Amino acid sequence: MQAVKWAFEDFVEGASIDLGARHVTAREIIEFASEFDPQPMHLDEAAGKASILGGLSASGWHTCAMFMRLLCDGILLDSTSQGAPGIDYARWKKPVLAGDDLTATVRVLATRISRSRPSLGLVTMHSEMQNQHGESVFEVENTIMFLSREAGAGA
């Protein structure tokens, strides 16, 4: 197997990792909401403007999914990731609106080797997405499992 960029050893406590950017389109907001969260403010510009969210806004679950894609492209698809058991918390801090340009950053909070399985490491991350105005719109904290570089190379 070709060596991947991100194994457990590559995550250093305190480090920040840039995950790149994503443009949010009205079409995508409506497409996601039609399937999973068909509330008026996620489906229609006028209804969004009339709502507390102030415009056609992405479902919070869509925001999670968009963050996940940035995390995949920025780290997971070129890593020894073994998945994540869950999310400590996620906050939908401000509406994500059609036309927004989101950027995501991960900060490594803690790393530790699994007691039961020394070839596996646990990386706790605090991640954030900002919009084009520099406002923090989404925050999430969770722990992802990564194989060590040696175990990953043998996988």
Residues that bind another protein (CB under 8 A): 32, 35-39, 52-53, 59-62, 64-66, 68-69, 72, 76-77, 81-93, 95
In angstroms, what is the minimal distance from the CB of 149 to another protein?
Answer: 17
Place of tokens 């060590």: 148
In angstroms, what is the minimal distance from the CB of 121 to another protein?
Answer: 14
* End-to-end C-alpha distance for the chain, whole angstroms: 8
In angstroms, what is the minimal distance from the CB of 128 to another protein?
Answer: 13
3-state secondary structure of 12: coil
d(CA 17, CA 116): 28
* CB-nearer residue toward another protein: 11 or 67: 67
* CB-nearer residue toward another protein: 12 or 77: 77
- 108, 13 Cβ separation under 8 angstroms: yes
Q: What is the largest CA-CA distance in the chain?
A: 56
In angstroms, what is the minimal distance from the CB of 15 to another protein?
Answer: 22
d(CA 20, CA 120): 27
Closest to 139 measured CA to CA, from 111, 113, 100, 102: 102
* CB-nearer residue toward another protein: 72 or 153: 72
* CB-nearer residue toward another protein: 54 or 99: 54
d(CA 149, CA 105): 23
In angstroms, what is the minimal distance from the CB of 27 to another protein?
Answer: 12
* CB-nearer residue toward another protein: 39 or 105: 39
